[in-house]
Structure 1
Amino acid sequence: MTKLAQDGPPLARRGLMMTGLITGLTLATTRVEAQVIHTDTAGLEAGEARVPVVDGELPAYFARPQGNGPFPIVLVNAEIFGVHEHIKDICRRLAKAGYLAVAPEVYARLADLSKMTDAAVIMRDVISKAPDATLMADLDATLRWATAHGGDSGRVGVTGFCRGGRATWLYAAHNPTLKAAVAWYGQVGGARTEIQPKTVTDIADRISCPLLALYGGKDTSIPVADVQAAVARARAAGRTVDLVIYPDSGHAFLADYRPSYRATDAADGWQRMLAWFRGHGVG
């Protein structure tokens, strides 16, 4: 490891295309047969939730320690494959560490991701049609839900993976009340469109909280040089960003349901994330 210094129709009119969360592992990518890590609910409250948004409700999954709280909040941004069992498990892992973690199904307006099996189709027909402005509003709504259900609005962090890593960068520039962010292999470039007008690199100089960026040196979809450029832009503006490159890992090295999983780097990144949150007031 090397450490380098147009919204669709409203929900109320369409109805949710997804009535619940994804209960199994997605088939949208090659995967191993089972997850490596399974986190139980002992000592936790966990399950599905409905997050009120401007045009209806979004399904979500949450986990938190038992008790009244208030608990520090971590918003969890899923991969393009939605809130499947791996993302739920991440919420439970965070809850075991003392957090109220909640992962909203932000693409539920557009599709039921549990029934989609082709990553290219998901990107074309779902992800590319989701406005960034709506994504930010949905995360704001999720934070309000968390605050109303035992979370501490003064101790809020955000994390995310792959496309959710991109959302993490964007939300760090959107919400000035955040204390810390951790982006796992989130895209920093890509096409600009009318509904997704900015890349991570475009907004890197506007993040409002310290951000930890965890990337794989062998990630062919996200060149290290591009990540370094985004980090340099943030630092030039006086923002706090810590970049860690794992030279032997590719994309999705935390995803323990996929062949891309790298246990040693995943464990190191997880501990760095927890330390980052604790060190910046989320804990």
Structure 2
Amino acid sequence: MKKLKKEDIQQEVFDLYDDYAHNRLERRQFLKKLSLYAVGGITIPSLLSFIMPNYIDSILINSDDPRIDTKYITYDSPKGGGQIRGQLSKPMNTKKKLPGIIVVHENRGLNPYIEDVGRRAALEGFITLAPDALTPLGGYPGNDDDGRALQSKRDKNEMLEDFIAAYHYLKSHKDCTGQIGVVGFCFGGWIANMMAVKVPSLSAAVAYYGSQPSKDETALIKAPLMMHNASLDKRILDGWPAFEEALKEYHKKYEMFTYPDVNHGFHNNTTPRYDEAAATLSWQRTITFFKHNLK
């Protein structure tokens, strides 16, 4: 099987994967369309192997990293899914209270990449909680295909309540200062934006390629926002002009960065959509933003 490189893959393949990953294509349709690009020694299995997440080789901060204290907890989400499981992480041997960050997964549950992001943020001096909105259905099932199928069975507004409940859990945690931010990716980006709408006391929100609130919802936002978008992500960028107009009309505090020549999902280092330069810069901006706003 030919070992593929990113430059071997046409942009249309990334676009197909984006449609598949966001449930706009069923697997049979995805494979049929993908077969059109299996030419010149490139097979469908090699394309699938290349484009699907590789969690085993991509984790940056292991769960047993001695610099952080990581464990799983459950908290109550009475308006959402009931008892929700999440990964709680904080720097090891820190006696002072820390600002908090809720880390929100994509449309497939709490997979290893999002757990890793929670631990990365903890290393920066925060107490972090990465909930699994699939908990009521048994939790993240171990692969993203089944995770997407499970998450599609839950109501997105009930899942929003699960993450709002995570905010309240972390805000009252004995090791937290009560200053809480949220960062979310894809579906989680929408959650981050909507938590800014629904939680007046939220200190900051960062949305990676997330869908935008309506104009009326935008009027309710109190927290400063940071948004990271990909120049090749037409679906998300199409909603930006109306959102920006509303942000300006209501005098909201925000920053938006569009990273050139990158795809939706560019921060996720487990797939070939990952772009190291954009991921690194956006994460530096995110951490600086949180350190400024979660004082």
* TM exceeding 0.5: yes
What is the match of residue 277 of structure 2?
264
**TM-superposed deviation, 1:136:** 3.7
Task: Find the residue that maps to 1:243 and give its secondary structure.
Answer: strand
Structure 2: runs of 5+ lacking an equivalent: 1-48
Give the match for residue 236 of structure 1.
Answer: 249
After TM superposition, the structure 1 = structure 2 runs for residues 58-73 of structure 1, keeping only pairs within 5 Å, are 58-66=84-92, 67-73=94-100
Q: Which amino acid letter does the alignment assign opposite residue 267 of structure 2?
A: L
2:288 alignment partner AA: A
Deviation at 1:151, TM superposition (A): 1.2
Q: Which residue of 2 aligns with 1:129?
A: 154
Query: Which residue number in structure 2 is paired with residue 91 of structure 1?
Result: 118
1:42-81 to 2 correspondences below 5 Å: 42-54=66-78, 56-66=82-92, 67-81=94-108
Q: Secondary structure at the match of 1:109?
A: helix
Query: Per the alignment, in what secondary structure is the counterpart of residue 257 of structure 2?
Result: strand
User: CA separation of 1:152/1:57 partners in 2, compared to 1, >3 Å: closer, same or farther?
Assistant: same
Contact 1:170 1:200 in 2 (8 A): no
| Counterpart secondary structure, 1:207 | coil
SS of the aligned residue for 2:136 comes to coil
Q: Aligned equivalents of 2:290 and 2:71: distance in 1? A: 23
Choose between structure 1 and 2 for higher RCO, CA contacts under 8 A separated by at least 6 residues: 1
Cα distance in 2, alignment partners of residues 33 and 202 from structure 1: 39
Residue 217 of structure 2 is matched in structure 1 by 203
Give the 3 Å change call, closer, same or farther, for CA 64–185 of structure 1 in structure 2.
same
1:47 deviation in Å? Answer: 1.6
Q: Distance in 1 between matches of 2:219 and 2:244?
A: 9
- State the SS of the aligned residue for 1:139: helix
SS of the equivalent of 1:129 reads: coil
Q: Deviations over 1:196-229 (max 9, x none)?
A: xxx455522321111001000001432x232232
Q: CA deviation at 1:241?
A: 1.4
3-state secondary structure, aligned to 2:102: strand
Question: In 2, distance between residues paired with 1:231 and 1:110?
Answer: 36
Distance 2:245 2:57 in 1: 36
Output one character per residue of 1:95-127: Cα deviation in whole Å (capped at 9) or x when no partner.
1100001011123224543256537x936x633
Alignment of 1:142-221 (within 5 A): 142-146=166-170, 147-153=172-178, 155-188=179-212, 199-200=213-214, 203-221=217-235
Aligned residues: 240
Using a 3 Å threshold, how does the CA distance of structure 1 residues 35 and 257 change in structure 2: closer, same or farther? farther
8 A contact 1:231–1:243 mirrored in 2: no
Select the structure that is richer in helix: 2
**TM-aligned CA distance change 1:43 to 1:112, over 3 Å:** closer
- Take 2:98 and 2:88, find their aligned partners in 1: how far apart are those partners? 13
**TM-score, normalised via structure 1 length:** 0.77
TM-score when scaled to structure 2? 0.74
Whether the 8 Å CA contact 2:108–2:140 is kept in 1: the answer is yes
**Does the Cα contact within 8 Å between 1:218 and 1:248 map onto a contact in 2?**
yes
Q: Percent identity?
A: 22
Partner of 1:254: 267
Q: Distance in 1 between matches of 2:112 and 2:125?
A: 20
- Name structure 1 gaps, 5 residues minimum: 1-26, 189-198
**Which 4+ stretches in 1 moved above 4 angstroms?**
199-202
Greater shift, 241-250 or 33-42, is seen at 33-42
Instruction: Show the counterpart of 1:106.
Output: 133
SS in 2 for 1:264: helix
Structure 1 Cα separation of the partners of residues 233 and 166 of structure 2? 30
Amino acid at match of 1:254: H
Q: Contact 2:111 / 2:140 at 8 angstroms: preserved in 1?
A: no
How much does 1:64 deviate? Answer: 0.5
SS of the residue corresponding to residue 242 of structure 2 reads: helix
With over 3 angstroms needed to count, the CA separation of the structure-2 counterparts of 1:176 and 1:37, relative to structure 1, is: same
Give the root-mean-square deviation of aligned CA atoms. Answer: 2.4
